């Protein structure tokens, strides 16, 4: 039996919806006649499920297994941490208790559990058509090897394979890259630009949320040579789900409500990703100014980008550039004249709304875009890539209407 194709679903926090999304995907694949199994290397939860073999595993993977119509198996969740105090947990490996560990002790020893994780993963990969994983930055890169890629496909939602220059990756993410030899073959998974490459890829680097919205807003005018790439400024605003669900002071309701703030100013890690993709279009290095902002809403990204025009142009020519790029794209909607994108118009959907406004006074153009950061900005785009890789309709499972109106 050939090894399963793998899709990775990641998020920036607990409770982003990764588990629910994986369950939905497992059900979709089962309905399509595919055998899918979930996989999450490590879970932390007080509630556990006991398999028919008397072994413990996380309930999230049980729900996903049930959605896929397969028997829950501890290999789907090889490590389960059951908190016993504020600083300690019971450690369960492959369904069996390994002992009680303080957080510091577990942090020192967790790398020793990687072989257990890989054994479970490899075993499942030999049996399933699709595996969904959700792991932190750097972990996917540490697990990928030629044996795995020779038998399965991986869609990675972390930044591990997005940036081709490993030195830039390590500079911005402050971690070493354990498998840089796989970076050259990784396909940047923006289907609207790299559709054909995605279809034949073994390894997909699913784009970040800000880069997805920023690039799709700017791309048509940069491709048409209508803007000066040296003048691009990107102002982006995101809901709090983009910052994670962890108990961070800056994310508390009282801190976020009735307020807006810039963060990651001149240092946000999505900057080199945006610059690299724009550079490919421009045919030379592009340096941008990128400033994200946190706004008091749950989800959504709004990008407002600015650039100087290379010559006098009118609305018709600029609109023609957008239409030339997106007229056949199911998920990209070029709005009518003077209609500005709104995050609520794409909430809960895989759509991207874009538009522009020429400012003749400054001879600049304002490029605007809106996405749901958790759908087109993350998991929805991963599904879109998976559909292409499996030869399925690109919008399969993604025809959800926005939550508004």
Cα-Cα-Cα-Cα dihedral sign, residues 63, 65, 71, 76 = negative
Return the SS3 of 396: coil
Q: How far apart are CA 299 and CA 233, in angstroms?
A: 23
HEC readout, 321-336: HHHHHHCCCCCEEECC
Q: Which residues pair with 154 in a beta bridge?
A: 203
pLDDT tens readout for residues 114-160: 999 989 988 887 775 556 555 678 888 888 888 888 877 889 988 99
Q: For every one of its 405 residues, what pLDDT tens digit does the chain have, with 9 covering 90 and above? A: 456 677 777 766 777 778 888 898 899 988 888 888 899 899 888 889 999 999 999 999 999 999 999 999 999 999 999 999 989 999 999 999 999 999 999 989 888 999 999 899 888 877 755 565 556 788 888 888 888 888 778 899 889 999 999 999 999 999 999 999 999 999 999 999 999 999 999 999 999 999 999 999 999 999 999 999 999 999 999 998 876 666 678 777 788 889 999 999 999 999 999 999 999 999 999 999 999 999 999 999 999 999 999 999 999 999 999 999 999 999 999 999 999 999 999 999 999 999 999 999 999 999 999 999 999 999 899 999 999 999 999 999 999 888 776
Q: Which residues pair with 130 in a beta bridge?
A: 5, 36
Return the SS3 of 109: helix
Number of other CB atoms surrounding residue 306 within 10 Å:
18
From 64, 72, 76, 73, select the one nearest 30 (Cα to Cα): 64
Q: How far apart are CA 326 and CA 277, in angstroms?
A: 17
Q: What is the DSSP letter of 20?
A: H
Tell me, yes or no, if 26 is annotated catalytic. no
Token pair belonging to 326: 């997106």
pTM listed for this prediction: 0.75
211 contacts: CB under 8 Å, gap ≥ 6: 162, 270, 273, 274, 277
pLDDT tens readout for residues 227-272: 999 999 999 999 988 766 666 787 777 888 899 999 999 999 999 9
What CATH number labels 209-372? 3.30.360.10
The DSSP bridge pattern shows strands 36-38 and 130-133 to be parallel
Number of other CB atoms surrounding residue 386 within 10 Å:
27
What angle do helix axes 166-173 and 271-282 make, rounded to 10 degrees? 150
Q: Give Cα separations from 62 to 52, 57, 75, 124 (angstroms).
A: 12, 8, 11, 15
From 315, 356, 319, 322, select the one nearest 339 (Cα to Cα): 356
Order across the sheet with 332-334: list the strands: 261-262, 289-294, 233-238, 301-308, 364-371, 352-359, 332-334
Number of other CB atoms surrounding residue 101 within 10 Å:
19
From 351, 356, 357, select the one nearest 332 (Cα to Cα): 351
Q: How far apart are CA 364 and CA 334, in angstroms?
A: 19
The number of CA neighbours under 13 Å toward the Cβ of 202 is: 14
DSSP string, 259-284: --EE-STTT-TTHHHHHHHHHHHHTS
Catalytic residue among 209, 213, 254, 325: 209
Q: Which residues pair with 132 in a beta bridge?
A: 7, 38
Alpha helices in 283-345 (DSSP H): 315-326
DSSP string, 187-246: EE--HHHHHHHHHT-SEEEPPPHHHHHHHHHHHHHHHTT-B-GGG-EEEEEE-GGGG-SS
Q: How far apart are CA 70 and CA 91, in angstroms?
A: 25
Domain edges within the chain: 209-372
Order across the sheet with 203-205: list the strands: 154-156, 203-205, 187-188
Number of other CB atoms surrounding residue 171 within 10 Å:
12
Name the phi and psi angles at 149, rounded to 5. -70, -20
The number of CA neighbours under 13 Å toward the Cβ of 370 is: 21
């Amino acid at each position: 039996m050939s090894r399963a194709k793998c899709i990775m679903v990641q998020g920036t926090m607990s409770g982003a919806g990764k588990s629910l999304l994986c369950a939905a995907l497992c059900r979709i694949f089962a309905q399509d006649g595919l055998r899918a199994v979930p996989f999450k290397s490590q879970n932390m939860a007080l509630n556990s499920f006991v398999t028919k073999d008397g072994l413990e595993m996380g309930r999230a993977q049980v729900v996903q297994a049930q959605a896929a119509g397969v028997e829950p198996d501890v290999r789907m969740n090889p490590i389960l941490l059951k908190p016993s105090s504020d600083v300690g947990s019971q450690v369960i490996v492959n369904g069996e208790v390994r002992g009680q560990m303080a957080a510091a002790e577990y942090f020192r020893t967790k790398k020793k559990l990687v072989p257990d994780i890989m054994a479970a993963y490899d075993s499942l990969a030999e049996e399933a058509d699709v595996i969904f994983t959700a792991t932190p930055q750097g972990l996917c890169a540490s697990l990928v090897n030629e044996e795995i890629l020779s038998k399965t496909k991986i869609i990675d939602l972390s930044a591990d394979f997005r940036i081709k220059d490993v030195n830039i990756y390590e500079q911005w993410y402050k971690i070493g890259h354990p498998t840089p030899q796989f970076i050259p073959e990784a396909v940047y998974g923006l289907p609207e630009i790299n559709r054909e490459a995605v279809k034949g890829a073994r390894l997909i680097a699913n784009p970040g949320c800000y880069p997805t919205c920023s690039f799709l807003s700017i791309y048509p005018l940069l491709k048409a040579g209508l803007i000066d790439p040296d003048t691009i400024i990107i102002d982006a605003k995101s809901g709090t789900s983009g910052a994670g669900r962890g108990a961070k002071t800056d994310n508390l309701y009282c801190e976020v409500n009735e307020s807006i703030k810039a963060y990651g100013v001149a240092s946000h890690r999505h900057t080199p990703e945006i610059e690299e993709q724009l550079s490919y279009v421009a045919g030379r290095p592009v340096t941008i100014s990128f400033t994200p902002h946190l706004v008091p809403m749950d989800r959504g990204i709004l990008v407002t980008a600015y650039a100087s025009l290379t010559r006098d142009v009118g609305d018709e020519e600029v609109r023609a550039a957008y239409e030339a790029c997106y007229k056949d794209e199911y998920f990209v909607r070029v709005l009518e004249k003077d209609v500005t994108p709104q995050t609520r118009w794409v909430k809960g959907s895989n759509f991207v709304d874009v538009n522009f406004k020429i400012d003749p006074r400054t001879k600049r153009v304002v490029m605007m875009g809106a996405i749901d950061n958790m759908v087109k900005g993350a998991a929805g785009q991963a599904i879109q890539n998976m559909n292409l890789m499996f030869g399925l309709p690109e919008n399969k499972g993604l025809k959800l209407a926005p939550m508004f109106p």
